[in-house]
Amino acid sequence: MRATLSLLVAGAAVVAAQNSTSLPDLVSQIPTCATPCLTQGASAAGCATTDFQCICSDSNKNRFISGATSCILEDCHGDDFNKVISVAGQICTVVTTDNPDPSAIASASAIVTSALGAASATSSPDSASVRPELGLGILGAAAMAALAL
């Protein structure tokens, strides 16, 4: 009986370790389509793009989402759109509940800075074009608002 209980506890620990993801790991999962949107969202929230504490604070999260939503709806589709929503929520959960150490924050910030540099170097002139899939804007905005909950 004790051996079985020990195995169950050990198995639960392994599963928990596999499900926990560091801040840099999560930031690196942000689809490239959303990279330019980070700047818009952070600016709307009055935060630096790499200031995760500021972006994820209760007072700024909704402003970040509002600022980034139209860009994400325009530039991210299908799996990328779903990934942005999932990862953004996970990032804020890690930032607000796990209190990541300064080296993890620095690493995540470096990833964002690098991605923003790459995005500005490869931005295309048609990235601001109007697309028919924006008709789903209300659904997308509702999904982004769900992150605030």
Under a CB-based contact definition with an 8 Å cutoff, are residues 114 and 32 in contact?
no
Instruction: Indicate if the alpha-carbon torsion angle 123, 124, 130, 132 is positive or negative.
Output: negative
State in Å, rounded, how far the first CA of the chain is from the last one.
Answer: 42
Distance CA 75, CA 81 (A): 9
Under a CB-based contact definition with an 8 Å cutoff, are residues 35 and 119 in contact?
yes
101 is in an annotated binding site: no
Region 50-61 average pLDDT:
94
Longest dimension (CA), the chain: 66
Distance CA 69, CA 81 (A): 10
Q: 11 φ, ψ to 5°?
A: -65, -40
Residue-wise pLDDT for 70-121, tens only, equals 999 999 999 999 999 899 999 999 999 998 999 999 989 899 888 888 766 5
Alpha helices, DSSP H, located in the chain = 2-19, 23-28, 35-45, 52-56, 61-75, 78-93, 102-121, 137-147
Distance CA 64, CA 62 (A): 5
**pTM of this prediction exceeds 0.95:** no
Region 24-39 average pLDDT:
93
More confident residue, 25 or 114: 25
